[in-house]
């Protein structure tokens, strides 16, 4: 991981470095990083990511790659900017992936708002277990459901680090999804996004073991789609 401070030469990061605002944090091909802010906000960066911050957690910027942000309950929260998109994160654990022409935003616990600054009304509330995929230069699309438990088991932003402070909330949200599945108000599908990006794959039972295997090269892996059942007790095609 390398740090680039405005006006200074970039250098390799060292454990327990204290970062100045506007420092650009860049992770390499196999590197991941965790940053802890004074208000106990945690930011985890995937491989090949670039990230900076200003005014503490009030202005976080993801230039490329993927980042998990966990903000403590009762804190002011954070705002993460990714290209032309932004997300407010009040007491929330969420993952954002951004590349030119692609933005993906998932909420693991809490509620966030995804919006386009400068476009009045172009925003959407995203609740735990929901994700939004789209073009950051286009209107914000509606959220869809994903499997929290499978994501937590397979994302390296979770599995390669110690438990988050919000771990108990993640478990509670996952259990709530399981209750919705048992009532058939939420149905599991065979649609999966393997690793980063937005390519949706249709998988059969023969691929089931792979769905619970942590990814080695991508950190927003394991998004397994679920969908609301419009008529409980019936399978929605």
pLDDT interval class at 204 (50, 70, 90): low
For residues 41 and 71, is the Cβ–Cβ distance under 8 A? yes
* Cα 70 from Cα 125, distance rounded (Å): 17
| Tens digit of each residue's pLDDT (9 = 90 or more) over 40-64 | 999 999 999 999 998 777 899 999 9
**Is 215's pLDDT higher than 60?**
no
Sorted by sequence, the CB contacts under 8 Å of residue 111 that are 6+ apart come out as 90, 92, 125, 126, 127, 128
Distance CA 93, CA 91 (A): 7
In the prediction, which pLDDT does 184 show?
81
Whether 116 and 86 have beta carbons less than 8 Å apart is answered as yes
CA distance 72 to 16: 21
Percentage of the chain beyond pLDDT 70 is: 80
Enumerate residues 6+ apart whose C-beta is below 8 A from 84: 116, 117, 136, 137
**What 8-state DSSP symbol labels residue 138?**
S
Q: Would you state the pLDDT for residue 96?
A: 97
Kindly tell me the burial class for residue 193, based on how many C-beta atoms sit within 10 Å of its own C-beta (0-12, 13-18, 19 or more).
buried
Rg (CA), the chain: 18
Main-chain dihedrals φ then ψ at residue 149, nearest 5 degrees: -60, -45
pLDDT digits (tens, 9 = 90+) for 159-177: 999 999 999 999 999 999 9
Query: Does 111 have pLDDT greater than 80?
Result: yes
The H or E element containing residue 182 is helix 167-182
Q: Which CATH architecture group holds 2-120?
A: Sandwich (2.60)
C-alpha span between 20 and 75 (Å, rounded): 21
pLDDT per residue over 12-38, tens digit each?
Answer: 888 777 788 888 999 999 899 999 988
pLDDT at 237 over 60: no
Question: What per-residue confidence (pLDDT) applies to 163?
Answer: 95
SS3 for 181? Answer: helix
Model pLDDT, residue 17:
78
Domain positions in the chain: 2-120
* Residue 223: per-residue pLDDT: 56
């Amino acid at each position: 991981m390398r740090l680039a401070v405005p006006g200074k030469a970039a250098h390799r990061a060292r454990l327990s470095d204290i970062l100045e605002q506007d420092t650009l944090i860049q992770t390499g091909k196999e590197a991941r990083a965790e940053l802890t802010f004074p208000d106990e906000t945690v930011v985890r960066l995937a491989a090949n990511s670039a990230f900076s911050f200003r005014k503490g957690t009030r202005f976080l910027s993801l230039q490329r790659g993927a980042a998990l942000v966990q903000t403590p309950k009762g804190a002011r929260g954070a705002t993460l900017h990714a290209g032309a998109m932004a997300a407010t994160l009040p007491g929330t654990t969420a993952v954002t992936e951004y590349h030119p022409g692609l933005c993906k935003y998932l909420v693991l616990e809490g509620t966030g708002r995804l919006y386009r600054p400068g476009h009045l009304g172009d925003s959407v509330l995203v609740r735990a277990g929901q994700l939004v995929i789209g073009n950051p230069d286009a209107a914000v699309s509606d959220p869809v459901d994903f499997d929290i438990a499978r994501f937590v088991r397979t994302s390296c932003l979770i599995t390669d680090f110690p438990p988050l402070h919000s771990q108990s909330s993640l478990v509670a949200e996952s259990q709530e999804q399981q209750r919705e599945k048992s009532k058939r108000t939420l149905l599991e599908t065979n649609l999966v996004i393997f690793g980063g990006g937005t390519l949706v794959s249709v998988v059969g039972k023969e691929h089931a073991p792979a769905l619970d295997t942590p990814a080695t090269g991508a950190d927003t892996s394991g998004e397994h789609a679920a969908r609301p059942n419009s008529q409980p007790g019936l399978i929605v095609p």
